[in-house]
A and B are shown apart, each in its own frame.
Chain A
Amino acid sequence: MTVLREYAAGVAQPTLDGSVGPASGPRYDEVVGPDGALRPGWKALAETAVGATGRDLQRVADEIARALEDDGVTYTRPGERAGRWRLDPVPLVLDAAQWAPLEVGLAQRAELLNAVLADLYGPRRLLAERVVPAAAVLGHPGYLRVVARASATDPRPLVLAATDLGRDHRGEWRVLADRAQAPSGLGYAMENRRVVSRVQPELYRQAVPHRMAPFVSALRSALLQSAPGDLADPRVVVLSPGHHSETAYDQAALASALGFPLVQGSDLVVRDGWLQMRVPGRLERVDVVLRRVDAAWADPLELRGESRLGVAGLTEAVRRGRVRVVNGLGAGALENPALLAYLPAVCEALLGEPLRLPSVATWWCGEPGGLEHVLDRLDALAVRRLDGPAVDLSGLRRETLVERLLAEPHKYVGQERLALSQSPAWEAGAAVARPLTLRAFTLRYGSAYRPLAGGLASTVEDGVSVGSRDVWVLKAEPRDPDQGIVDVLPMTAGPSRAGTGALPRVLEDLWWVGRYAERAEDLLRLVLAAHALAEDFRDRPRTTGATVLEVLLGAVSRLAGPGPLAEGDLDAEFRSVLLDPHRAGSVAHALDGLRGAANGVRDQLSLDVWRALGGADRAAEVLRGSGHSHQVAESAVRMLTGTLALQGVTANMVRDPGWHMIGVGRHLERSLQVCHLLAATTTVRRGIDVDREVLSAVLAAAESAVTHRRRYRGSVRPGGVLELLLTDRDNPRSTAFALDRVAEHLAALPASTGSSRPERLAEDLRADVAAVDVAGLVAIGGESRPHLVRFLAETTDRLTRLAEAVAEVHLTSGPAPQPLGALAPPGPDLEAVAP
């Protein structure tokens, strides 16, 4: 039997134990009707969908997981490392007839919410006439008093609204929450569509859902039109809190799709009341900000003073109408759950019409009637705070909850718990009925609000999203225009002006992309060389090979830092070096750093970067799951392939300052790594046989064995190895070669003058390395080579100073802003009080 038939049979069958609770009661099924027949939207897909077997679906699920990994799609839960984005193969399908009333309801709601904002930050009629209790609005932290000035009016504070919806057991849509602060999810929705349409092309073609592209174009055009005044060529940026943000992927993906630069607070500055971007050497005006930073963090002058994510003076620039922030800074007031209780009355008051799309039943406890109702039905309702995270507090001890409600009733709402509709989710080889919610998006385009025909659906477990789904809104007629939009301008290339490629923060991220990529690569090569020796000699102590292995392991811990594990457990050490992200210096640490840096500049990089990293991730995953020693080498090789693929990606980048900065980082790191490797292996004499084997391993780790064999005909001596790895300007693995590239790339950076400090330091280093007398370096003094020791230590020092100089000249945008009065008072104990 096929999966869908089996699922339909299961849904139509009454449950055996007959258990029906408030949350587990009969749900509306998105795919199958109560009679066991498919819903209209799915009927159109029956031919393909019904035939799908478990094996087909598993294949699709696997391909989806792989595609998401290849695209580097992540979602970060607060306080955790970035996790993978999950997408279920089964979309939420809505036919045109089901969609039409929802579309009208969403458009009305956005229009209403915009009017609510205009009133709450303007005349406040809703409060004065007590349509909404003042305390219900003012007790919510999203209400920003700093923009409630007579001097500042934003006629269109709501440009992009998101609405979280669920269906009740009758199949009626209810709004669960409004998201207006900085709605996330469009980037994920676009990616979901890309992946699902690619791995299930037949189904997708048969369904003919509305494509998303015209909506994105419309958003782009709406943002351009949001610019204050009548600008021919407005500058729009997407303001992100940075790559540690929960939805960093979503922000970057949306910025890329829109063709607007992704910036962070440190890239911007307010000067003379205008918002400006710090392009090196000058400031460039910004006219529109698509804001993904919560308003509370957007301006350390007037909002949270400790914020590093915002721009001091932004609120003032907004009030003066010199920049338009989308959505308006005050839009967070709409996320207030207490508003839901009053929206029908608000709609009558502001629009003079009934509210079309009902919200989930909500009672604000600040009103005596509301409190009474909530206390009476405490077991059946979800209880939320107005000013806290959106969690259901009804799990608290009853007495505790009642006490809190009575103490500060105006801070709480009670909400009906909806028996959400269900849809099959693919879990562990079977289609299981799971509740879902839908996030819809509505855009102000021209003079009206237009909902996206589509959205982002979530599979929900215990109130938490555990996976996402694509949303297919089917066309009534295949010839209907996508999104019903016919007049949108196609996406054209942005206006010709400097991009963000040269922002100091962007250059910094790219510098670390270069450094971490090289660090991972060099360490992987060294691990492979050491592991090969380990396979042969780990059980043969006191042999030449065992001594060589010891030397190589010393080099590993010099590069990767000492391992936390017991000595002698070689496998554990290799695994730690490859997999432990908490070991500063490990491959995993370098790859995490690389991913973080790349995420900060996602809009500058090809998607191939993520495919390459995905390959490395999969190899690491396999190693985590396997106990075999040989898997260490296999995974390390494949991780190496991943990092090498990055080289290919950067080779195809445009030769802009960012590309040169990757080059500076990569080659500077390579010079450093060569010095560390040589210092750990070649400075001590251990006997002719051991030394020869050590040198051979070093050549392997430095990928120069083949060149060496050709050039020196198999005779492995310290002098030859040092020549090849230090001074040979034609060997890409040598310090001399790397320094040549550092100098070239440096010269191409915008802040370079020909005589800047990094250029001087690089030039001196280059000259000294080129002039070094290798014969002198290998000279012996007792057990060691003192000249070589000194030379490597000095060179390492000078390279570190060069790195610092690069950071100082090219990467910093100056000291971070800080609150007036935050500096220490004069006194002798500065070190003690400084952070």
Chain B
Amino acid sequence: MRYRVRHTTTYTYDAPVTDSIGQAHLVPRSLPWQSVASYAVTVAPRPGDVTHDLDHLGNHVTYFQVTEPHDTLVVEGAGEVEVTAPVLPPDALATPWEDLRPLRDPARPGAWAATDLALPSPLVDHDPGVTAYAAASLVPGRPVGEVVTDLAHRVHADLDYDKTATTVTSTVVDTFARRAGVCQDFAHLVLAGLRAHGLAARYVSGYLATEPPPGQPRLVGADASHAWVEVWLGDDTWLAVDPTNDTVVGDRHVTVAWGRDYGDVPPLKGVIVTEARRSTLEVAVDVAPVGPWTGAA
């Protein structure tokens, strides 16, 4: 499936900002199942300094600085992406999960590179409650594919999707205590549960194309940026699963960036200098299929 993606973030301030320095993860990764064409990040007002680079995990990262005084800052990532459903090697899902713990078995091919994602991270720390919760899915000898889909399924069932329950700085412990959150929190909880038992898993930031109800036009801007997880299956093979929708990731997910948790790959972060005391944030994400909508998933 080919999509035209547009992700716009607008900050409006009640007084001029004299210096905005920012970092954005807005350009999707090029992957075996995803190709990226004509993608660009634009900032308004025009920044005096912009660079594009790959971070240590190979994500596209944009750095910019705007020193022209501004009341409004607009950062937009837009372009076209073609996605197919990732194909896993046969039997990859059948490995018993105990064989996929990089810290226990550092000699396994790919284990050293996956180690960073088996360790606790700033937003996904170990928590005894979460560890115990996840244990019910991590039955001895169970194939890793079942473990992951089962845990994602339980998280989906046990958590309420609630935009008011958490913020971008919420931790797994907060989410678990409230049994509610947004996609980022669903992902963090799955990560915490898997890592607590030694598996390596990464946070994926991206977009989801939402199908419109039959007979209605697609609503522009109705979508948001999305998050899910990928679990290490050995070598450089990963199983992507979306706990918010209780589904395996297919060709409706656009992968932008991955890291240990949200903190490694926020779509936009920055530091500003201003006398302003208030600001308004507007985020609009639009992932539109290119050409006529066939209705096929």
Q: Is B174 an interface residue (CB 8 A)?
A: no
Whole-angstrom distance between the alpha carbons of A817 and B273 in the complex?
A: 5
Closest to B104 in A: A368
Q: How far is the CB of B23 from chain A (nearest CB, A)?
A: 6
Q: How far is the CB of A5 from chain B (nearest CB, A)?
A: 58
Q: How far is the CB of A265 from chain B (nearest CB, A)?
A: 12
Known A313-B21, A316-B63, A826-B280; judge A135-B275 contact (CB<8 A).
no
Q: Is A320 an interface residue (CB 8 A)?
A: yes
Closest to B52 in A: A151
A-B contact count (CB 8 A): 128
B residues 251-297 in Cβ contact with A at 8 Å: 264, 268-281
A139 with B107: CB separation less than 8 A: no
A151 with B54: CB separation less than 8 A: yes
Chain B neighbourhood of A272, CB < 8 A: 48-49, 65
- B65's contact among A145, A270, A814, by CB below 8 Å, is which? A270
Q: How far is the CB of B260 from chain A (nearest CB, A)?
A: 8
Q: How far is the CB of B46 from chain A (nearest CB, A)?
A: 13
Chain A neighbourhood of B268, CB < 8 A: 820
Comparing B11-19, B35-43, B222-230, B235-243, the segment that makes contact with chain A is B11-19
Closest to B269 in A: A820
Main secondary structure of the interface of A (DSSP, over half): loop
Q: How far is the CB of A459 from chain B (nearest CB, A)?
A: 38
Q: Is A300 an interface residue (CB 8 A)?
A: yes
A271 with B65: CB separation less than 8 A: yes
Whole-angstrom distance between the alpha carbons of A127 and B275 in the complex?
A: 47
A316 with B51: CB separation less than 8 A: yes
Whole-angstrom distance between the alpha carbons of A150 and B53 in the complex?
A: 9
B56 with A819: CB separation less than 8 A: no
Whole-angstrom distance between the alpha carbons of A819 and B22 in the complex?
A: 10
Q: Is B146 an interface residue (CB 8 A)?
A: no
- A302's contact among B19, B23, B116, B273, by CB below 8 Å, is which? B23
B126 with A823: CB separation less than 8 A: no
Q: How far is the CB of B131 from chain A (nearest CB, A)?
A: 9
A149 with B54: CB separation less than 8 A: yes
Q: Is A821 an interface residue (CB 8 A)?
A: yes
- A146's contact among B56, B103, B113, B278, by CB below 8 Å, is which? B56
Interface size (A, Cβ < 8 Å)? 47
- A134's contact among B23, B55, B106, B270, by CB below 8 Å, is which? B106
B residues 1-50 in Cβ contact with A at 8 Å: 11, 13-14, 18-23, 48-49
Whole-angstrom distance between the alpha carbons of A93 and B14 in the complex?
A: 65
Most chain A beta-carbon contacts within 10 A, residue among B13, B23, B126: B23
Q: Annotate A813-835 by CB proximity to B: 1 below 8 A, 0 otherwise.
A: 01111111101111100100010
Chain B neighbourhood of A302, CB < 8 A: 23
- A301's contact among B103, B113, B270, by CB below 8 Å, is which? B270
Chain B neighbourhood of A410, CB < 8 A: 103, 119
Chain A neighbourhood of B102, CB < 8 A: 134-135
A residues 248-299 in Cβ contact with B at 8 Å: 269-273
Whole-angstrom distance between the alpha carbons of A313 and B47 in the complex?
A: 14
Chain B neighbourhood of A826, CB < 8 A: 14, 278, 280
A830 with B278: CB separation less than 8 A: yes
Chain A neighbourhood of B18, CB < 8 A: 814
Chain A neighbourhood of B119, CB < 8 A: 135, 138-139, 410
A270 with B21: CB separation less than 8 A: yes
Q: How far is the CB of B226 from chain A (nearest CB, A)?
A: 19
Chain B neighbourhood of A301, CB < 8 A: 21-23, 269-271
Known A313-B21, A819-B270, A820-B271; judge A273-B278 contact (CB<8 A).
no
A819 with B271: CB separation less than 8 A: yes
Q: Is B210 an interface residue (CB 8 A)?
A: no
Whole-angstrom distance between the alpha carbons of A190 and B147 in the complex?
A: 61
A312 with B279: CB separation less than 8 A: no
B116 with A138: CB separation less than 8 A: yes
Q: Is B115 an interface residue (CB 8 A)?
A: yes
Closest to B49 in A: A272
A820 with B63: CB separation less than 8 A: no
A815 with B275: CB separation less than 8 A: yes
Whole-angstrom distance between the alpha carbons of A13 and B275 in the complex?
A: 72
Q: How far is the CB of B158 from chain A (nearest CB, A)?
A: 24
A825 with B278: CB separation less than 8 A: yes
Closest to A126 in B: B112
Closest to A310 in B: B271
Known A826-B278, A830-B277; judge A313-B103 contact (CB<8 A).
no
Closest to A313 in B: B21
For chain B, give the interface size range.
Answer: 35 or more
Whole-angstrom distance between the alpha carbons of A817 and B269 in the complex?
A: 13
Q: Is B67 an interface residue (CB 8 A)?
A: yes
Chain B neighbourhood of A816, CB < 8 A: 273
B51 with A320: CB separation less than 8 A: yes
Q: How far is the CB of B116 from chain A (nearest CB, A)?
A: 5
Chain B neighbourhood of A127, CB < 8 A: 112, 115
Known A148-B56, A149-B53, A301-B270; judge A820-B103 contact (CB<8 A).
no
Whole-angstrom distance between the alpha carbons of A821 and B278 in the complex?
A: 9
A residues 780-835 in Cβ contact with B at 8 Å: 814-821, 823-827, 830, 834
Most chain B beta-carbon contacts within 10 A, residue among A133, A151, A302, A823: A823
Chain B neighbourhood of A408, CB < 8 A: 120, 126
B112 with A134: CB separation less than 8 A: yes
Chain B neighbourhood of A316, CB < 8 A: 51, 63
Q: Is A370 an interface residue (CB 8 A)?
A: no
B271 with A133: CB separation less than 8 A: no
B11 with A820: CB separation less than 8 A: yes
Chain B neighbourhood of A273, CB < 8 A: 49, 51, 65
Q: How far is the CB of A554 from chain B (nearest CB, A)?
A: 41
- A135's contact among B67, B103, B264, by CB below 8 Å, is which? B103
Q: How far is the CB of B203 from chain A (nearest CB, A)?
A: 14
Closest to A272 in B: B49
Chain A neighbourhood of B116, CB < 8 A: 134, 138
B53 with A151: CB separation less than 8 A: yes
A128 with B279: CB separation less than 8 A: no
Known A366-B103, A823-B13, A830-B278; judge A818-B271 contact (CB<8 A).
yes
Q: How far is the CB of B283 from chain A (nearest CB, A)?
A: 11
Q: How far is the CB of B244 from chain A (nearest CB, A)?
A: 23
A817 with B280: CB separation less than 8 A: no
Chain B neighbourhood of A713, CB < 8 A: none
- B20's contact among A133, A269, A814, A820, by CB below 8 Å, is which? A820
Whole-angstrom distance between the alpha carbons of A148 and B56 in the complex?
A: 5
Chain B neighbourhood of A366, CB < 8 A: 103
Q: Annotate A380-392 by CB proximity to B: 1 below 8 A, 0 otherwise.
A: 0000000000000
Q: How far is the CB of A708 from chain B (nearest CB, A)?
A: 49
- A820's contact among B49, B55, B270, by CB below 8 Å, is which? B270
Most chain A beta-carbon contacts within 10 A, residue among B20, B102, B277: B277
Chain B neighbourhood of A145, CB < 8 A: 55-56, 264
Q: How far is the CB of A135 from chain B (nearest CB, A)?
A: 5
Known A134-B106, A270-B65; judge A817-B56 contact (CB<8 A).
no
Other A-B pairs beyond A410-B103, A817-B272, A817-B273, 17, CB < 8 Å:
A134-B115, A135-B106, A139-B119, A271-B65, A273-B49, A301-B271, A313-B63, A407-B126, A410-B119, A816-B273, A820-B272, A821-B11, A821-B279, A823-B13, A824-B278, A826-B280, A827-B278
- In the complex, 24 of the A-B residue pairs with CB atoms within 8 angstroms, ordered by the A residue number, are A127-B112, A130-B107, A133-B106, A134-B106, A135-B102, A138-B119, A150-B54, A151-B54, A271-B48, A272-B49, A273-B49, A301-B22, A305-B269, A814-B18, A814-B273, A815-B275, A818-B271, A819-B270, A820-B269, A821-B279, A823-B13, A823-B278, A823-B279, A825-B279
Interface of A with B (CB < 8 Å)? 127-128, 130, 133-135, 138-139, 145-146, 148-151, 269-273, 300-302, 305, 312-313, 316, 319-320, 366, 407-408, 410, 814-821, 823-827, 830, 834
Closest 4 pairs (CB-CB, A-B) = A820-B270, A134-B115, A312-B271, A823-B279
